Amino acid sequence: MKKIYFSVAVVLGLSAMATAQTSFPVEIDVTGFSANDWVPTEVVVPTSPLKTQVLFVGSVDEVQTLDANGNPNGSAPAKQWHDFIGFTEDSTGADYGWISVNHEMVIADDKIGDGGGMTVFKVTRDASNDTLIIVEQTLNDGREGKFFNVDFVNTVGETGMNCGGINSPNDGRIWTAEEWFRSNTASIYDGGNGVRDTADWTIDTDISGDFDGSTIRKYENFNWMVEIDPTQATAIRKQYNWGRMGFEGGTILPDNKTVFLGIDATPAGWFKFVADVAGDFTSGSLYAYKQDGTNHWIEINNTQLSNMLDVESIAFAQGATMFNRVEWVTLSENGKVYFTETGRDNPGGRWADEHAAGGTHAEHHTMRALQQNTHPDSADYADYYGRVMEFDPATDEMRVFVAGGPEYGASDVPLSQYPEKHLSNPDGLSILRVEGREFLMICEDLNGRSYGRMPAGISNSTCEMFLLDMSIHNPTVNDLMRVAMVPEGAEITGACSTPDGKTVLFNSQHPSTNNPYPYNNSLTVAITGWDEAVLAGDLDPLSIDEVDAQAAFTMYPNPATREVRFNKNVDVALYDITGKRMRVIRNSNYMDISDLDAGTYFVRTEEGDVQTLIIQ
């Protein structure tokens, strides 16, 4: 069962649908309940140990910029569509560290640069409550302020659609990724709304090979992993030796040499780069994974620009294994690498050509297709929900760690039959390490609403973030703990924990502009107090023995956040202190109360059982 729930805004859609066709009275008499009319049980929801902050709001917070000569150029509203978040600890101890935020939105802007982008800012901890405080900085280039636009234009060239990235677990180094693959000039120019300078690009780099001095088409300078310096808000280099692909994520092993790379494409390969010298990624070897056979790695000559411009075709022609949209990648202390394979509804037409050219299907896709009495290349092969994969670098073995779902054969799943939890199209992925424990943080980015990804009749693709206890060897969706839900229209992404495990950061990306401020903008949220929640046992799911489903109606609080649980699936109504009905929940074993003010409320079942709910 889930035990943690947090909503950054009033939950939209589901609760509204649940209030229809109610049989509950609009008002109940609460004046005489203490005089033997009825004596409700009292349930107290204690104050949550979790503290929530909105740190950074797109189009509202001002970022400090540079002109084309690298001189301070005043401020401009930050870009929107926040995605990846990275954290780099301040080794001097002066403050806590730097937060780096990707912007997936591509726009033309003279001050903050054409294309995508990034914003960085520095934080310290409030000694009284551990929340984060954004601090003023003066950078080496003369910029002063709190938020800083990362300079790509004057350094390595523009980026586009900055989505995921790499946050090195070894030293906090940051790389930004660009998932939307660009194949021509028109795709970056976008009618003048994207990158306006489309002149050929001459590479200036210290990376080993024939890259330095080579001239390429401007669009070919996109879709490389790009390292930045968050302390100075500037780009360092494009990783031409990692290949040009629709990158989404990656991670680096403790040897500080081996990099695993996730590609958001169908087909997607599974790549690794091994540096010649620890910490120096300007020289090394690139490999593509082949699941079958004894030699699992295909080496690709990564000193030649021509190879790196066409690395995926080269890999698949040599039998590299094909996946269905590999997204974020993270490393556990158990030594294994985890990545999200977000899925695509019917991938057959996307990878059939690469299969014919020599690419091989991942074993779990071959097995799924057999279970569906079809072939991965067939138009009727379905992969609606995606999954989280586990890869062991010591053995090169791979398995499905937790599959999305539950799976449904029907396109429409009624709300009355909808499960308590459903994992759909996992995307963002990171690990929360706190008080000696590890939890996988999984963010959804729904590809659609059919086949149970949302209940029938719900028009919003509600995206949620879950925690998964990494001590569970063979987890299922039932082991997930829901921790966040973003407002209407938004994707939840960027999950990142601070090194001490006290704070989890995430983004709400491209929400509906109809949401109330600030939830009508992309924003970065910090939730602090996870160490207290773990020590209190609030991240330990209840065992089945702790709940008597056959007993009369009872409810109990989640001690960490605003949620009450019921001992069975019921229809209930919530009333305020005056007895006025506020909402109706149908066929559920929990009620989200994250939007309620502190005070006294009443919960009534259809049978008339009433309990008092006190929110502190």
Residue 518's pLDDT is 93
Instruction: Compute the residue count for the chain.
Output: 616
List the domains of the chain with CATH numbers.
14-49+543-615 (2.60.40), 51-535 (2.120.10.30)
Specify burial of residue 430 (Cβ count, 10 A radius: 0-12, 13-18, 19+).
buried
pLDDT tens figures, 331-360? 999 999 999 999 999 999 999 999 999 999
Q: Which residues contact 245 (CB under 8 A, 6 or more apart)?
A: 181, 223, 261, 263, 265, 269, 271, 311, 312
Low-confidence ranges of the chain (pLDDT < 70): 1-22, 29-47, 538-562
- Alpha-carbon distance 387 to 449, whole Å? 17
Assess contact for 82 and 522: CB atoms under 8 A. Answer: yes
E-assigned strands of 203-362?
215-216, 226-229, 234-238, 247-252, 258-263, 270-277, 280-289, 297-300, 321-322, 326-331, 337-341, 360-361
CA distances 383 to 17, 59, 266, 345, Å, are 28, 36, 12, 5
Strand partners, 470: none
Specify burial of residue 306 (Cβ count, 10 A radius: 0-12, 13-18, 19+).
exposed
- Alpha-carbon distance 79 to 86, whole Å? 17
Q: Which residues contact 60 (CB under 8 A, 6 or more apart)?
A: 77, 78, 518, 521
Assess contact for 66 and 72: CB atoms under 8 A. Answer: yes
- Alpha-carbon distance 209 to 221, whole Å? 16
Match 């049980």 to its residue by tokens.
Answer: 41
- Alpha-carbon distance 330 to 166, whole Å? 9
Residue 37's pLDDT is 34
Specify burial of residue 438 (Cβ count, 10 A radius: 0-12, 13-18, 19+).
middle
pLDDT tens figures, 562-603? 678 777 788 889 998 888 999 888 888 778 887 788 888 988
Q: Which of 82, 123, 194, 60 is nearest to 508 (CA)?
A: 82
187 three-state secondary structure: helix
Specify burial of residue 407 (Cβ count, 10 A radius: 0-12, 13-18, 19+).
middle
